[in-house]
Structure 1
């Protein structure tokens, strides 16, 4: 370790003369001894903390003769019983390297191993006037520590915030508390606002004016006498503090200090209770291919505490475009009082850390979306196991080919669901150095911040889902000058199925123009310069992952068969020998709707993906909270709303605008409440932290679910019902109108929606009764007949007389309780059996998902053509229904019902409901029977068999979308 205090003596004679000449002050000539601690990047965090905490608790830094502040000082005002400091009251100790650097005018980089240690006390500093050092230390509550290690991160500092007597805690144990030490900790949020003109920028507010032995006085802040008042929970506190250390008014823990400053409450974060399993015997009976398991028998995901990838030093950044979301969380999560609330709407009387409210920050909402959870999605991982198992069966006679195909398939799937890990792996190794697979996704180091074993970071990046630096890095590919096709054709050939194109690795792109943003803090903190780029507001960007083109592995191309558009778009040479299908077509569906604006930029009806899925309003009926427009800042940094500090960059560089409009939430809402409820109840198994570290909020998942439900009930579809009597028949006409800008349902093919229609007799004095029904389910979401027995179509039973499987066709007229209008897509494999496999769906047997308004058979323009246009067309039955295909985005179903003779027809009411299922029973059965021995499949079976849906919006395994009723005329 460099002994900088010795080298400092070489220039001290000059410095002493200069200072004495200007001020008459003679500076000291020795700055103490350096820290004996190793560099933090050379150990794992826990091992380093073990040494650091002992160093702090034994106050070794004082014994080393380090320089320290003139006195305990405030970091902000104290007014009317409230403290407005960035830290509690502090007294800072500086290792000799820091003093060297300050005395030398901050010209060279601070050497590794240098330390700054803030002793922290309950504010205000006036409490401690007249105390000697031992008395003062008795009242110390915590430290914040900076240790220089330039090779370990972009900012070059290790940060720690331990309480007094802090012990090392294993954060990888439930509930996965946010670490209090490490590189890339949230401290950078404020320290990135530093700059000293003409000097080396070192993320510190340190100044000689604060330090004993040097001229000048620290910054002063207004402190009134409100701190002297006795409260219900304090002993009297006066200016003179008695020697008796039992004075409880001074012994305030870190949790209270955090509430009084801008710091999260590191040492007292809320701890959720572990949800208890509620094993369903009915579920086990319905899905018997996997036996019941206990919690400790399933495969757990590595905890989120392992997902920690910081920005590397500047020399390595051109090949590192991706970091984990916790690096963005520091500034783009909510901020509470005293400098907030920002990106957080309190719903009670308080707004300090942990208060009730709605967290509307980019990080806070993204975290609990299918995008934020994509890397840990238990349904995806089980589906992938099924695909692997089927692939191995396809190549049972050739294990080598089976492995090759499986490796390539897994990498294809992880291109989106493990996006950052996969793309970073490709950047690091190229396409010829193995495949990115599940073995990478599950990698987890005991020290996620380790710099010694880089392989761990692939798993951390992959599990972080469709994260910040994926979307904010994406750019359109440049079309070759000699390619004169419409750009859409080039895009579909080169940039779908997750094949993203990353621009400058040191830039992140957003929707605000360069002159409307303040890039300094982000660029200083992470080496990413925020830049305006309109692409991030375009639906085509979303199309990169929301058009999925996959091979049909049991349908190889026939000899001499010409490749079509889909094969041309296949990026993997191995799969070009197979026929292909568009497994997901959401972006294409939007293009073929009245909402598109890429063929018709001036379309007055246009709504992009972002317009719908990144809302600018907020509505929560349970909280009676309705915001038509969200006004807020989009980041929380040490800006002009904070108290003054040394070494701040010019205020014009810190102008985080309070935006009256244009703030787009990162709620990415859809209808997959099932997925969110799994994470809500099995957070330990899935490895997530349910509380928000930056705000203390414990309600982010329930609020996300409420947001999804609000969308389902208000923005997805409408129903109208008309009912009349025609002779002995009741005729009910149900009209379903799709309100979304793509099919409903859209996305993966196993989603479905269905109509429940009930004819109810409502006598005046007796209990109402159901006279006739279609579309009812049991408690597991299985469609049943009038007697409550599962319909034979639910699991595609073999037809008793025909060599087919039974399904629900697209119905224009329904006459039987065993007929149900289900909006879904059903595919046959090459064996002419129904399949849920994404790579075996060779023939579309049914696709009557509701089309969007404005759909046209010929499409929106000639650039959307061939198989891509065909992917927006309905299936063979629905396309024959003129009402369904009229471009209105609606469907009409007529129910002709023969009524029992003993029914009072004047007391009849017809009720219709539209339900949605993200994971229908037949899909779960397929997963559980295809790969019953797979650990991900067994994990999903455990979750589904133990989840408690009672009282949730998805009780009985279905989500109500809309409803209507009519009296019989």
Structure 2
């Protein structure tokens, strides 16, 4: 971190997407973007009733697994719930497409490696089927995302039913060998020999064999976190800035490994949190006589943190080729927003005013089973702290955000390796506690190019409860980096930041808010340097028309009378 104070009021970077605080039009009209069908043509809607040698579209599953209710009569339809999630829209996501395009532009000589890695988890059915047929695995140009490509329908289904439910319970599942898209689909079987795994014993086989030519089979791994590990612990190859591919890999995300070393391992699985249980027992199919009620039934809501992109998808359904309707997205956004609020909380503690100094601590507690925030490196959370005097005037403010998604006073500059450090103590409004990752390339410079990332300059995302940063056996992939490594208040499950502010004697009201943003301002601006790419130009246009910049996770307020 260099020249922080001098850079305090500079506006160098910019803001983007993927998390929301509500607002904006819900129209999906093509007129929502300028020059709509010339500059940004509508995506061709894919066929969700497709069939391939090994997979079947979600609509084929919906004929039996939609229209089901729980003990309270609540609709817990499987495909309907899934359709409005980021899992269903993994290949529709315009930010993902834009980032893939920029990484390929940076190193076109590695296009095959880049698109192979990205397609494995975002278009997995197309990846598996094309590999089985010895066809080209690619995304851009004439690849999977082109509606004339034979794997288009399978690709645009994202992470769909017959992908997850065909993942084999191999010894590698949940290990480093099974990470980074290392799931296994048994491509030796076709027709009714294809096994479709579920979490319930003694499944009725006939209806599914007759309807979709799969044979259901019980396997306990469907309710285990290791099922999610393949794509949620992901290491990417490292390309040196001179274009040389190295033998190193970089932990782009490690949610499963973070969970593995937390107190949640053995008590709560990924499914327990991200697939909330329905009430009571559920008859999981609308076809068949005298079907057994099943419990527990995990709803296929796949809750996460990405309300911002869900809003973009909802508002631009025609433009982006989205299948889910507005009502489904509204429900998914509401559920996701409430889920986020349960992820962490903020509390003001140990306040006092003596000798012209206002002192107080702000503690952030992580309630999730992995780091907060976790996942893709564009995400960040931060503290917005204000102090008001008895006249209700703001006399101190750290962490304010503007309408563009930029945090006041925070500058990220790859040319000078300037970024906000982790703080144990804050004494000036130019200092902001931001929980995030900052990528370091092979020349020890700050970067936003994923394939240039070798290490983290900074990783102070709040650890899950039970994760001990001093554990000598802790994998390097989930270690904190930067000042958080030596901060004694930065521990498994929480972080405490001390504030010390010089003020005259008065009555004061302190408010602390914990905010979250899926795509940070700096990450967005670096992406938007490449608007000559149609994928990036579209993402920038979509972003410019949204008001959803961040979520407020938690708020606490105290009043102090000296």
Contact 2:27 2:315 in 1 (8 A): no
Structure 1 equivalent of residue 496 of structure 2: 892
CA separation of 1:854/1:300 partners in 2, compared to 1, >3 Å: closer, same or farther?
Answer: farther
Contact map agreement 1:586 1:742 (CA 8 A) in 2: yes
The residue that corresponds to 1:382 in the other structure is 98
Q: Deviations over 1:585-621 (max 9, x none)?
A: 1111011101113xxxxxxxx111111111115xxxx
**TM-score with structure 2 length normalisation?**
0.88
Distance in 2 between the 1:751 and 1:421 partners?
28
Q: 1:325 Cα deviation (Å)?
A: 1.2
Superposed counterparts of 1:850-865, under 5 Å: 850-857=462-469
1:522 aligns with 2:208: yes
Task: Tell me, yes or no, if the aligned pair for 2:426 and 2:497 is still in contact at 8 Å.
Answer: yes
Give the aligned partner of residue 634 of structure 1. 284
Q: How many Å separate the matches in 1 of 2:354 and 2:470?
A: 39
Match of 2:176 in 1: 492
SS for the counterpart of 1:304 is coil
Instruction: State the secondary structure of the residue aligned to 1:909.
Output: strand
- What's 1:294 paired with? 35
Rounded Cα–Cα distance in structure 2 between residues aligned with 1:927 and 1:914: 26
- Secondary structure of the residue aligned to 2:158 is coil
Matches within 5 A, 1:322-333: 322-333=55-66
Cα distance in structure 1, aligned partners of 2:117 and 2:461: 26
| 1:8-157 aligned within 5 A | none
- Residue number in structure 2 paired with 1:509: 197
Q: Is the 8 A contact 2:414 2:445 kept in 1?
A: no
Aligned 8 A contact 1:592 1:872 in 2: no
Matched, 1:655 2:290: yes
- TM superposition shift of 1:434: 3.5
Cα displacement (A) at 1:306: 3.5
Shift of 1:940: 0.4
* Cα distance between partner residues in 2 of 1:391 and 1:771: 49
SS at match of 1:498: coil
What is aligned with 2:428?
Answer: 816
User: 2:125 aligns to what SS in structure 1?
Assistant: helix
The 1:731/1:478 distance shift into structure 2, 3 A limit, reads closer
Give the Cα–Cα distance (whole angstroms) in 2 for the partners of residues 536 and 496 of structure 1.
17
Residue-by-residue CA offset, 1:65-124 (whole Å, 9 max, x unaligned): xxxxxxxxxxxxxxxxxxxxxxxxxxxxxxxxxxxxxxxxxxxxxxxxxxxxxxxxxxxx
Deviations 1:338-368 (A, max 9, x none): xxxx36977xxxxxxxxxxx74311111111
- For the residue of structure 2 that corresponds to 1:850, the secondary structure is coil
- Aligned partners of 2:46 and 2:156 also within 8 Å: no
Change (3 A) 1:344 1:463: farther
- Give the match for residue 50 of structure 2: 309
Deviation by residue 1:826-845 (Cα, 9 ceiling, x = unmatched)? 01223443222221112311
Is the contact made by 2:71 and 2:281 (CA closer than 8 Å) also made in structure 1? no
Q: Secondary structure at the match of 1:891?
A: strand
The answer on 1:612 being equivalent to 2:273 is: yes
Q: How many residue pairs end up in the alignment? A: 529
Q: Distance in 1 between matches of 2:426 and 2:36?
A: 45
Equivalent runs, 1:771-850 vs 2, <5 Å: 771-784=395-408, 791=409, 793-796=410-413, 804-850=416-462
Give the aligned partner of residue 699 of structure 1: 327
Q: Is the 8 A contact 1:407 1:437 kept in 2?
A: no
Change (3 A) 1:777 1:478: closer
User: Residues 553 and 724 (structure 1 numbering): CA distance in 2 closer, same or farther, change over 3 Å?
Assistant: same
CA–CA distance in structure 1, aligned partners of residues 197 and 457 of structure 2 = 42
Q: Report the CA distance between 1:478 and its aligned residue.
A: 4.7
User: 2:291 is paired with a residue of what secondary structure?
Assistant: coil
Secondary structure of the 2:239 match is strand
Distance 1:278 1:732, change over 3 A: farther
CA offsets, 1:21-49, max 9 Å, x none?
xxxxxxxxxxxxxxxxxxxxxxxxxxxxx
* Helix, strand or coil at the partner of 2:118: helix
Determine whether 1:928 maps to 2:552.
no
- Indicate the residue corresponding to 1:463 in structure 2: 156
Q: How does 1:174-193 map to 2 (within 5 A)?
A: none
Is contact 1:307–1:460 with CA below 8 Å preserved after alignment? yes
Q: Kindly indicate whether residue 71 of structure 2 is the aligned counterpart of residue 437 of structure 1.
A: no
- State whether residues 92 and 322 of structure 2, in contact with CA within 8 Å, keep that contact through their aligned partners in structure 1: no
Measured against aligned partners, the alpha-carbon deviations of 1:213-232 in whole angstroms (never above 9, x if no partner) come to: xxxxxxxxxxxxxxxxxxxx
Structure 1 pair 580–634 and aligned structure 2 pair: CA distance change class (3 A): same
Paired residue secondary structure (1:905): coil
Alignment of 1:146-225 (within 5 A): none
Q: Which residue of 1 aligns with 2:234?
A: 548
What residue is the counterpart of 2:88 in the other structure? Answer: 372
Measure, in 2, the Cα distance between the counterparts of 1:296 and 1:588.
Answer: 44
CA contact (8 A) 1:759 1:911 kept: yes
Structure 1 residues without counterparts, runs of 5 or longer? 1-271, 280-292, 312-319, 336-341, 347-357, 393-401, 446-454, 480-486, 559-574, 598-605, 618-628, 640-653, 692-697, 785-790, 799-803
What secondary structure is seen at the aligned counterpart in 2 of 1:749? coil
Question: Counterparts of 2:448 and 2:417 in 1: how far apart (Å)?
Answer: 14
CA contact (8 A) 2:364 2:495 kept: yes
Counterpart secondary structure, 1:376: coil
Tell me if 1:905 matches 2:529.
no
**Map of 1:473 onto structure 2:** 166
Q: Distance in 1 between matches of 2:136 and 2:324?
A: 36
**What does residue range 227-626 of structure 1 map to in structure 2 within 5 Å?**
274-275=28-29, 293-300=34-41, 302-310=43-51, 320-334=53-67, 342=69, 359-392=75-108, 402=109, 405-429=110-134, 433-438=135-140, 439-444=142-147, 456=150, 458-478=151-171, 491-493=175-177, 495-503=178-186, 506-514=194-202, 517-554=203-240, 577-597=246-266, 606-617=267-278
Residue 278 of structure 1: CA displacement?
7.2
Is 2:67–2:75's contact at 8 Å kept on the other side of the alignment?
yes
CA distance in 1, matches of 2:280, 2:521: 39
Q: Cα RMSD (Å) of the superposition? A: 2.5
Separation in 2, partners of 1:634, 1:964: 42
Greater RCO between the two (CA within 8 Å, min separation 6)?
A: 2
In 1: Cα distance, 2:51 partner to 2:272 partner: 31
| Mapped partners of 1:372, 1:656: distance in 2 | 28
Q: Secondary structure at the match of 1:910?
A: strand
Cα distance between partner residues in 2 of 1:773 and 1:682: 36
State the alpha-carbon separation in 2 of the partners of residues 277 and 300 from structure 1: 11
In 2, Cα distance between the equivalents of 1:609 and 1:300? 38
Q: Deviations over 1:385-404 (max 9, x none)?
A: 11111114xxxxxxxxx1xx
TM-score, normalised relative to structure 1: 0.52
